[in-house]
Amino acid sequence: MSERKKIKLEDLTFEEVNAVLNHKWFMSEREGKDVGMDAALDDFFNHHAADWRKKQVKADAEAQKEEIMKHKWFLSQKLGYDVGNTPAALDWVKKGFAQHWRNRTGPYKNRK
C-alpha cells in the first residue's frame, strides 16, 4: 500500500463507493480471483480516481446546464420573451434552485 492516508469505504460518497466496487469487479475479473476491497481502494485512488472525478465534474456541469436551460425556457414563457442564458442562470441561483438542485435532486443528493 502507498504512503497515502488509508481510505475507508465509510468515508466515501455513494458515487465513489460504486466506482470502487465497479473497479474491484474489473480487477477481480482480470486477475481471476477476488482482489479484496483494500487492493481495489488503493488501486482506484492511486491510478483512476483523478480521471473518474474529472468525468464526474464534467457530467455534473452538463446536468446543471440542462437544468438552467429548462429554467430559462420556463422563465421566458412566463415573461413572454427570451430572457437569455446569463439572466436565466442568475435567476436560477437567486431563487434557490441551484442549492435545491445540488442538495436535493442534483448530483450531490447522496453525498455526505
Domain assignment present for residue 110? The answer is no
Q: What percent of the chain has pLDDT over 90?
A: 62
* Residue 101 pLDDT class (50, 70, 90 cuts): confident
Q: Determine whether 10 is exposed, middle or buried from the number of CB atoms within 10 Å of its CB (0-12, 13-18, 19+).
A: exposed
101 is a domain residue:
yes
CB 41 within 8 A of CB 7: yes
**Backbone dihedral angles phi then psi of residue 54, each to the nearest 5 degrees:** -60, -45
Q: Residue 72 burial (CB < 10 Å; 0-12/13-18/19+)?
A: buried
Residues of the domain holding 16: 9-105
Over the stretch 7-41, which tens digit does the pLDDT of each residue have? 888 888 888 999 999 999 999 999 999 999 999 99
How many domains does the chain contain in total?
1
Residue 55: all three cell numbers together:
468525468
pLDDT at 2 over 60: no
Instruction: Give the pTM.
Output: 0.67
